[in-house]
Amino acid sequence: MDIGKLEQFLKDNNQPKFRMGQIKKAVFQDGASSFSDITTLSNDLREMLEKEMKILSFDVEKVLVAKNKQSMKALLRLEDGNLIETVLLSQRPSSAEASAGKSACISCQVGCQMGCRFCATGKMGFKRNLIAEEITDQILFWKQYLKKNDIPGSFSNIVYMGMGEPFNNWEEVSASIRNLIDPDLFGFGSRSISVSTAGIAEGIERMAQEFPQVNLAISLHFATDEKRGEFMPINKKDNLESLRMALRKYFESTKRKVFLEYVMLEGTNDSPNDAFNLAKYIKSIGKLQLLHVNLIRYNTTSDPPAGGLIPSSRIRTERFRSELERYGIPVTIRKSLGEEIQGACGQLAGE
Ligand code: SAH
Ligand code: SF4
């Protein structure tokens, strides 16, 4: 919702100041889907708002729900016709633990400039940046969706792991984070927000300064410049050495844990030798207790698999994990939740 526009609208219509607070609470905290649902407002005002203003800046094209209801994905059509995706993950099966925390995975760009070879968003190229409102409206959308469908639970995590590279759109992404942590709007804690980057060193520094409490995740995926450069063009500008420096600085100023994302690609980056190289790299950064490796299951982005990239088998993934553990590296195999709904962002919008 465009807060500036709403403020102006209320002013132009000589509405008292407290109206703004009522609307903010109804929309951002209670998940109201339409102005006519905001019963604290007068009928006249509700009607006017309904006619002149919109809560969401996009239309909902479709929502996919996995059989176990643990993951859902929405395809959203922006005003200019472009499509973006957002994913909602529940930590536990909805029946067992009704109030299980939800993670919303949000997009910050239509497409992406970075062109990582394993990524569906990377393959579709870059169309445009999202504005802050379009970014945070993805959360409003899920709030409304949960409410409409009587799904209990609140948000425990907001992750910038959808389409796009946050540090290539930092102005709008940082504005969106400010809205997320604004107690008068969403009111999330900084520590419940995570930003994932393909590894733009300058962006890492800016984030440390502006949001030292927001979590940082780095899409590492490969532990030698040779391999990383082959799959991630960014590595030519910010190679592993440059990332190492950026991380050291980050730890100095924030003292916060950083997550290294590692997508498991069979025969490409999942051998014992790859584990050795990864452990060596991580140790070279120096702060073992502040680094944590997340092993991610690869979602094949096309059929047949593009470039022969396929997900590592369970056995190879387990072996990779135990190799890392043997070197003393903190590591978790992240449960895959999104496969049947084409969980990797960009897989739907790029179709
Ligand atoms: N651009 C940022 C954030 C969006 S991508 C980044 O790259 O970090 C979010 C995560 O999904 C990244 O770790 C990315 O490498 C990973 N990813 C991309 N394509 C994937 C796929 N097909 N299967 C699994 N993970 C994928
Ligand atoms: Fe962009 Fe991230 Fe996909 Fe790379 S992995 S193309 S940076 S969205």
Q: How far is the CA of 116 from the centre of ligand 2 (A)?
A: 6
* Token pair for 116: 């990582």
Pocket test for ligand 2, best of 105, 119, 170 (most atoms within 8 A of CB): 119
Quick one: pLDDT at residue 68? Answer: 80
Q: Cα–Cα distance between 315 and 229 in angstroms, integer?
A: 27
Residue 176 CB–ligand 1 contact under 6 Å: no
Residue 85: active-site member: yes
Q: Among the options 108, 112, 119, 345, which is catalytic?
A: 345
The residue whose CB lies within 8 Å of the most ligand 1 atoms, and thus the one to mutate among 263, 302, 341, is 263
pLDDT in the model for residue 241: 98
Listed in sequence order, the residues at least 6 apart from 16 whose beta carbon sits closer than 8 Å to its beta carbon are: none
Confidence (pLDDT) at 303? 72
Query: Looking at the CA of 347, which ligand is closest?
Result: 1
CA 244 / ligand 1 centre spacing (Å): 20
Backbone region of residue 190 per phi and psi (left: phi > 0; alpha: psi in -120 to 50; beta: other values): alpha
Would you call 345 a catalytic residue per the annotation? yes
Residue 234: nearest ligand to its CA?
2
**Dihedral Cα 261, 267, 272, 273, nearest 10 deg:** -90
**Closest alpha carbon to 103 in 347, 348, 340, 334:** 334
For the beta carbon of residue 23, count every other beta carbon within 10 angstroms. 25
pTM of the predicted structure, to 2 decimals: 0.94
| Chain segment 50-83, per-residue pLDDT in tens | 999 999 999 999 999 988 888 899 999 999 999 9
- Residue-level pLDDT at 340: 60
pLDDT at 174: 98
Tokens of 183: 């107690």
Q: At what angle do helices 314-326 and 272-285 cross, to 10 degrees?
A: 40
Tens of pLDDT, residues 241-297: 999 999 999 999 999 999 999 999 999 999 999 999 999 999 999 988 999 999 999
pLDDT at 94: 45
Q: At what angle do helices 201-210 and 240-254 cross, to 10 degrees?
A: 10
How large is the C-alpha radius of gyration of the chain? 21
The amino acid present at 167, given as its one-letter code, is F
Among the listed residues 247, 302, 294, 295, the one whose alpha carbon sits nearest the alpha carbon of residue 270 = 295
3-state helix/strand/coil string of 83-103: EEEEEEEECCCCCCCCCCCEE
Ligand 1 contact, 299 CB (< 6 A): yes
Residue of 85, 134, 165, 261 marked catalytic: 85
Q: pLDDT below 50 — which residues of the chain?
A: 94-96
